[in-house]
Amino acid sequence: MFPRTRVLSLIALLALTGCDDETPRVKPKDHAEGLYVKGTAEYLQGHFEAALASFDAMKQIAPDDPRLPAARGELYLSMGRLTDAAAEFQAALELEPKRSTNWSRLGFIQAQLGQVEEAQSSLRKALSLFPQDFNALESLGDLDLKKGDHDSAVRHFTLASSAAPSPEQKSALVMRALDVLSSQERYPELLAAAQKAVDDGIHTAEVLATLGDALVRAGNLTEAANAYRDAASRAPRDPTLWELVGEIKTKLDKPGDAISAYKESLRVKDRAIVHVALARIYLGMKDSSAAKEELAAALESVSGQDIREMRELASLLATMDRKPDALRILSTLSAEQDHAKDTELHVATARLASELKDTGILQAACARATAADASLKKCP
Rounded mean pLDDT, 233-253: 98
How far, in Å, CA of 301 to CA of 78, rounded? 45
Please give the model's pTM, rounded to 2 decimal places.
0.85
Q: Which long-range contacts (CB under 8 A, 24 or more apart) does 325-334 make?
A: 326/352, 327/352, 327/353, 327/356, 327/358, 327/361, 331/361, 331/364, 331/365, 333/307, 334/364, 334/365, 334/368
Confidence of residue 254 (pLDDT cuts 50, 70, 90): very high
Average model confidence (pLDDT) across the chain: 92
Q: Is 66 helix (H, G, I), strand (E, B) or coil?
A: coil
- Reported as type and span, the H/E element at residue 15 is none
What is the pLDDT confidence band of residue 31, given thresholds at 50, 70 and 90?
confident
Q: Which of 242, 313, 320, 262 is nearest to 287 (CA)?
A: 320
Q: pLDDT per residue over 200-238, tens digit each?
A: 999 999 999 999 999 999 999 999 999 999 999 999 999
| Cβ 228 vs Cβ 216: under 8 Å | no
Say what percent of the chain tops pLDDT 90: 85
Across 226-251, b (16+ Cβ under 10 Å) vs e yields bbbbbbbeebeebbbbbbbbbbbbbe
Q: Which residues, other chains included, contact 270 with Cβ-Cβ below 8 Å and sequence gap of 6+?
A: 297, 301
